Structure 1
């Protein structure tokens, strides 16, 4: 019998993509609730306790509520919200983050799916911190631009609904420097100091470009762009969903397309090196609804099903 996967909250941008992909598979039995039952606590509790794996695609408060409904110890959970991403009782669902992380996910009962922006930031920072090339107290500044679907259904409505003509072409937000992804980035990147995070939305549906600038004079002696690239290469070698651009290819680029990996679970990383000025730019490109959300959830599901 196929394992039963229950998607709770299947009408949001992430849930819709997960359901669409699971409907094409013959190795799982998909369980969802009809519209009239989606807010019925008893029906939700019944569904979540009779599945093998629950994927929560809910606002934070509702995700905590759903997790609290589980009294069947056999149920395994992947939470796509930000409710549990810094909770030590939950395993962080980024398989490529560090050695052994995929195994920890595979053995876990509770997995917290990474946020879209943190996926790129942690991918770039954690390997360099672990390699001793990036001080844990480096004054990190992260800039990122996401497609408007990063706002969820409200963003899609704003850019694709009746008022789409008035939607801004570009908007920077999070100006109070209190974005909810910052604690997640700091914890899982291994930083001792809070990074500055400056997010933005563009007038395209999905995709992310995230960049982090580094001054070589603030890094340990002898660290260069090439050494940073070598560390990332060593870390992600053999990882099918993360590709590191060769230095020569990066040097020839003049722009980055945030939509390059749309519709996939792929992520590209790059190191742009300017030895003359002693500066390096780290970059990640991926789909905020793919590797940044539904793709990552399905990657974690596959780890659980293979256990």
Structure 2
């Protein structure tokens, strides 16, 4: 029997990309609301209660409201907003870090943020292994395609006179900070420097480190080997070899992709390193991650429907 699936917020960017990844899949029976019903609380409640699994592609407050509407239903929920990423009772939907069994058995799964996906993929395994200190003052520099900023930012970057570069987050209170700190097991919040560039999709997340100033004197080769071992069994995350790339590019018209590539780029002595993650902010950073968790929750191969 097909799993009854409701996407609340299916008309948004993340919802549309999830729908695209589900095309032609007989494992799911989609519950679809028309334009009028999408904003009708009663219709949404009925859909949430009728579904086996619901994926919330909504702003934070609306996602919290949807969870309340679903109360008493037993419906399993994947929340693509940032509303529940550090909330009690929610499983963090990053199977490579959290474990597949935790997601397979969860009722409530919070989809990781796009920037935190890159940061956590790089840092969390190395902190767990004791190669990087949990009390280090980490800095994250990142650029993203504009699609992750919602309809207003998409319109701004696609209009005449669009900006070539948009840096933001100068209040030092970005909503991703608690997520990065908690799931990496850090003693301090990171300093996060995000920016947007005129590419529709794609993301580069970088963590520069002065390894020579750390206790234990870790080297770039040790970090790369540890990440390679950690992700050896996953088909989604790839760790590049030690050759330093001449450049890393984001294509303005890149097609969707759901994989994640990690780079550990050290200097000649190995004492300075740039940890770099390259991903699609709408793929492993949003819709692709939701599909991966959905597959795991339904007992299906985790890469089904993904674009790797």
TM-score by length of 2: 0.94
Question: For 1:234-277, what per-residue CA distance to the aligned partner results, in whole angstroms no more than 9, with x for missing partners?
Answer: 110111000000113xx2x1111234974121000000001447
Shift of 1:71: 3.1
Contact 2:218 2:271 in 1 (8 A): no
Q: Secondary structure at the match of 1:20?
A: helix
Q: Secondary structure at the match of 1:38?
A: helix
Structure 1, unaligned stretches of length 5 or more?
A: none
Cross-structure match for 1:254:
246
Cross-structure match for 2:304:
none
Give, in whole Å, the separation in 2 of the partners of 1:305 and 1:30. 14
Aligned Cα root-mean-square deviation (Å)? 1.5
Shift of 1:32: 2.0
Contact 2:220 2:270 in 1 (8 A): no
Contact 2:211 2:272 in 1 (8 A): yes
Cross-structure match for 1:186:
181
Task: Mark the CA change 1:262 to 1:123 in structure 2 (over 3 Å): closer, same or farther.
Answer: farther
Among 279, 285, 288, the alignment partner of 2:278 is 285
Question: For 1:9-50, what per-residue CA distance to the aligned partner results, in whole angstroms no more than 9, with x for missing partners?
Answer: 011110111112223312111112100011111100000001
Cross-structure match for 1:19:
19
Mapping of residues 114-153 of structure 1, within 5 Å: 114-153=112-151
Shift of 1:150: 1.3
Shift of 1:83: 0.3
Task: Mark the CA change 1:119 to 1:262 in structure 2 (over 3 Å): closer, same or farther.
Answer: farther
Greater displacement, 43-52 / 220-229? 220-229
Cross-structure match for 1:3:
3
Question: For 1:143-190, what per-residue CA distance to the aligned partner results, in whole angstroms no more than 9, with x for missing partners?
Answer: 000001010112222223xxx122101111111111100110010011
Cross-structure match for 1:232:
227
Shift of 1:84: 0.2
Cross-structure match for 2:305:
none
TM-score by length of 1: 0.94
Give, in whole Å, the separation in 1 of the partners of 2:257 and 2:214. 34
Mapping of residues 1-307 of structure 1, within 5 Å: 1-98=1-98, 101-160=99-158, 164-248=159-243, 251=244, 253-259=245-251, 262-276=255-269, 278-306=271-299
Contact 1:5 1:53 in 2 (8 A): yes
Count, aligned residues: 299
Structure 2, unaligned stretches of length 5 or more?
A: 301-308
Shift of 1:74: 3.0
